[in-house]
Amino acid sequence: MGRGLRYTQAFAGVLKRRTVGRVGSALGSLALLDRSAKVRRLTDWAIRGLEVEPIPPSLEGTRAAILVSNYPTVSQSLRAVIKVGCRISTEHPRLRAIARPEIVTQANTLFKALGVGQFVFPVHKDQAGAYRLEGRLVKDILRWLDGPGNVLWLSITGRTRGYGLLEGDLRTRAAMFSLKKGVPLVPMGLVTREKKGKLRVVGVRFGAPIYPPSASELDDFQRTDYLIDLTKLAMCEVARLLPPGQRGDFEDAEAKLEETNRRLGIS
């Protein structure tokens, strides 16, 4: 009797997962954000309590750009990125994000219907717990940056803690893509406020674009240091967009910026 009950429960679990999967796929296929400019405007309007500065010229032209920001929480960062994406996408969507696959698989019904999966490059963890971009995915991302006016978003830190600016957890992929494609890094600061014990993103600010200095004469070891310094420069610029107390490990952003500029040879 007990064994039969366990079999029945296991079968019911499999059936439920398959049903949920089919429903999720059906919702995702709607891709409303991709199909309608009106839906994008409505989505922008529906994400309340989040003030966004005017979109800067660096994100409005025909040149590709890489948007980098702090990373308060996964869900709050996603809300901000979607709202910004709706603002910069007039005729067709131009913003895609590098994010964990859970952003898609665990998205709520609304986000699935909006087709959030079509705007995410999913990055999986390796056995060591680090996020790695596979060769095919890198090619897809580089191809995306070839598109006129396309924008790529990614965090420059790999974990969320506090306000998401961790000096000891730099991610240099944004700098690598910027150098590879010759496109600017555009800093974006996600300003937060604590509500009912949780951090909420309440404001989005933009900084001046960072154009990567030339690195053509660097060897492999120098290039690694260069990517770290360029990433730290972007972190400093993101931190300067945030109010004191929300800068994580970059409270002294101005001093760190001066040191990093010196290392990069920027006057």
What string of pLDDT tens digits covers the 267 residues of the chain? 455 444 444 433 433 343 334 444 444 445 566 667 788 888 888 888 999 999 999 998 888 999 999 988 888 888 899 899 989 876 788 999 888 777 767 666 777 777 777 788 888 766 655 667 778 889 999 999 999 999 999 888 766 666 678 888 888 889 999 988 999 999 999 999 988 888 899 999 999 999 987 777 767 778 888 899 999 999 999 999 999 989 888 999 999 999 988 888 876
Burial 114-133 (b: 16+ CB within 10 A, else e): bbbbebbbebeeeeeeebeb
Take residue 15 and report the two structure tokens written for it: 């059936």
For the chain, give the number of residues.
Answer: 267
Take residue 186 and report the two structure tokens written for it: 């555009």
CB proximity list for 198: less than 8 A, separation 6 or greater:
73
- Report phi then psi at 243, rounded to 5: -70, 155
Write down the pTM of the prediction.
0.82
Residue 140's pLDDT is: 92
Q: Token pair 């300067």 is at which residue? A: 240
Residue type, 72: P
Q: Please report the domains of the chain, with CATH numbers, ordered by start residue.
A: 31-264 (3.40.1130)
Residue 20's pLDDT is: 36
Per the CB < 8 A criterion, the answer to whether 67 and 85 are in contact is no
